[in-house]
Amino acid sequence: MSPAIVWFRHDLRLRDNPALKAALERGGPVVPVCVLDDVGERPWAGGAASKWWLHGSLEALDTSLRERGSRLVVRRGDSLVELMALISETGARAVYWNHRCEPSVVARDGRIQGELARAGIEAKNSNGAYLFEPNRIANREGRPFRMFTPFWRHCLELPIDRPVKSDARHIPAPRRWPASLDADQRGLLPRISWDGGLKETWVPGEKGAGRRLKRFVTNALEAYDRRRDLPAEDGSSQLSASLHFGELGPRQVWAAVAAVGRDMGVCPASEGARVFLSELGWREFAQHLLFHFPFTPQAPLRSEFAGFDWAKDPGDAQFTAWTLGLTGYPIVDAGMRQLWRLGWMHNRVRMIVASFLVKHLRLPWQKGAAWFWDTLVDAGLANNTLGWQWSAGCGADAAPYFRIFAPVVQGERFDPEGAYVRRWVPELNRVPATFIHHPWDAPPNVLASAGVRLGEDYPRPVVDHAAARVAALAAFKKLRMEANHP
Ligand X SMILES: Cc1cc2nc3c(=O)[nH]c(=O)nc-3n(C[C@H](O)[C@H](O)[C@H](O)COP(=O)(O)OP(=O)(O)OC[C@H]3O[C@@H](n4cnc5c(N)ncnc54)[C@H](O)[C@@H]3O)c2cc1C
Name the active-site residue from 194, 310, 340, 440: 310
Asked if 380 interacts with ligand X (CB under 6 A), we say yes
Specify whether the CB–CB gap between 335 and 353 falls below 8 A.
yes
ω into 486 cis (within 30 of 0) = no
Asked if 233 interacts with ligand X (CB under 6 A), we say no
**What binding mask, one character per residue, do residues 333-352 give for ligand X by CB under 6 A, x or -?**
--------------x--xx-
Asked if 240 interacts with ligand X (CB under 6 A), we say yes
The residue whose Cβ lies closest to ligand X is 387
Asked if 64 interacts with ligand X (CB under 6 A), we say no
Number of residues that bind ligand X (CB under 6 A): 28
The H or E element containing residue 389 is helix 381-392
Specify whether the CB–CB gap between 420 and 234 falls below 8 A.
no
384 DSSP β-pair partners:
none
Q: Which stretch binds ligand X (CB under 6 A): 152-160, 275-283, 320-328, 471-479?
A: 275-283
Cβ closest to ligand X, residue 373 vs residue 435: 373
Say which amino acid occupies 287.
Q
| 310 flagged as catalytic | yes
Q: Which of 10, 21, 244, 437 binds ligand X (CB under 6 A)?
A: 244
What CA–CA distance (Å, rounded) separates 116 from 94? 9
| 365 flagged as catalytic | yes
Backbone angles phi, psi at 141, to 5 degrees: -85, 5
Cβ closest to ligand X, residue 96 vs residue 371: 371
Q: What number of other Cβ atoms are within 10 A of residue 8's Cβ?
A: 26
The DSSP output letter for 358 is: I
Name the active-site residue from 7, 254, 282, 373: 282
Q: Which of 387, 393, 411, 418 binds ligand X (CB under 6 A)?
A: 387
The DSSP output letter for 458 is: B
C-alpha 325 chain-centroid distance: 21
Site for ligand X in 199-228 (CB under 6 A): 228
Asked if 237 interacts with ligand X (CB under 6 A), we say yes
| 53 flagged as catalytic | no
What CA–CA distance (Å, rounded) separates 464 from 240? 34
The H or E element containing residue 125 is strand 122-126
Nearest to 96 by CA among 104, 86, 283: 86
The DSSP output letter for 356 is: I
Backbone angles phi, psi at 405, to 5 degrees: -60, 125
Q: Which of 318, 366, 383, 410 binds ligand X (CB under 6 A)?
A: 383
Cβ closest to ligand X, residue 31 vs residue 280: 280
Site for ligand X in 295-314 (CB under 6 A): none
Asked if 395 interacts with ligand X (CB under 6 A), we say no
Supply the residues annotated as catalytic. 279, 282, 310, 347, 365, 388
Binding residues for ligand X, rule: CB under 6 A, are: 228, 236-240, 243-244, 279-280, 282-283, 286, 347, 350-351, 354, 372, 376, 378-380, 383-384, 386-388, 391
